[in-house]
Amino acid sequence: MFWPDTISKKLGIEYPVIQAPMFGVSTVQMVAAATRAGCLGSLALADLSAEESIKLIRETRKLTDKPFAANIFVHHIPEITEPLRLKFIKTRQFLKQLAKDNDIEVNFPDLEDLNVRSYHELVDVVIKENCKILSFTFGNLDDQNIQKLKENGVTLIGTCTSVNEALILEKSGIDIICVQGIEAGGHRGTFDPDHVLQIGGLSLLSQVYDHVKVPLIYAGGIYNGKTLQAVKNLGAQGFQVGNLLLASCESALQPFEKERLKKAKENEIMLTKSFSGRYARGVKNKYIEAVEDSEYILPYPYQNKLTNALRKAAKSKQNADFVGIWIGQSLHDYSELSAEEILKNLIFQVEENEMKL
């Protein structure tokens, strides 16, 4: 049998294939579609409010009775100092002018209007709503919440982008580690937003495998049976896919965004902090060229909250030059089939290739 069963048994799923959370792209319908394929769906809660998160969890439960993971951001929130306040004013003014120059009408929020939240209330939501799988990114949970979650029977999946981060997660009692290679689209799961180690996924996976004993999920560049088989040979027992599902019919991306994905070239894909203040891999556009390497990038989550209004306004005008189109390094056809069919096709490819060996 090809499929490792350690993670499948632990999570109660048929195949150890995980739909990446992809906040802003995934939907409750995508989560349900992944579960219908026998995989683990991931419900992206990010840093939403408790009320919004409860609503999404309950909506998902109406669509599936199978296991799915709740996914949250565990980022550090920088203190609002006077220098940060002044930088916010300058950045807001720069973005207002940039939007005006490009005929985009935006009402940018003031600093006091930003809804900046820590993850702690979402831990309580996960327990209250009886979610039994919690994955997280941008850091590690604190010891108190790890203990609280474990006492309530929650399986914890942390994200690492280096061996050191993997060791921190293992030492703190995290059950499963998702190893995110540099190839992965979207935000880097790194603990330190200012220092991104650009380690190739295959190298990183093999090194993490040699240093930790907990089961590993691998994320980054998996888009067909052969790439999945390659990371299995390097020690992965679970396989997370996101890029593969971007254009699926359950994706929240609009048709103009899906078309931009399909036209992307390898020299247009880059890591950028310009939209959120954290490094994310996406398609270079006019906004990124104007802001990247400038003085107008606030720390996460302030940059992310400030640019949200611009992205919404640009999306309403179908302007691909001012939205974040996150994409991994493995370019492919970007199927618009259901995520269920895409994942079933991936599983079929893997099993067909295995039979030929």
Along the 357 residues of the chain, how does pLDDT read in single tens digits?
689 999 999 999 999 999 999 999 999 999 999 999 999 999 999 999 999 999 999 999 999 999 999 999 999 999 999 999 999 999 999 999 999 999 999 999 999 999 899 999 999 999 999 999 999 999 999 999 999 999 999 999 999 999 999 999 999 999 999 999 999 999 999 999 988 888 999 999 999 999 999 999 999 999 999 999 999 999 999 999 999 999 999 999 999 999 999 999 999 999 999 999 999 999 999 999 999 999 999 999 999 999 999 999 999 999 999 999 999 999 999 999 999 999 999 999 999 988 776
- The pTM for the full model equals 0.97
C-alpha 65: how far from chain center: 23
Q: Judge residue 78's burial from the number of C-beta atoms within 10 Å of its C-beta, 0-12 exposed, 13-18 middle, 19 or more buried.
A: middle
Q: Tell me, what's the pLDDT at 198?
A: 85
Distances (CA, A) of 266 to 173, 182, 231, 281: 38, 14, 22, 12
Residue type, 261: L
Distances (CA, A) of 174 to 7, 118, 219: 13, 20, 17
Domains with residue ranges and CATH for the chain: 6-77+117-249+333-356 (3.20.20.70), 78-115+265-324 (no CATH)
Peptide bond preceding 301 in cis form (omega within 30 of 0): yes
Residue type, 43: L
Cβ neighbors of 295 (< 8 A, separation 6 or more) are 87, 90
Paired tokens of 356 = 């030929």
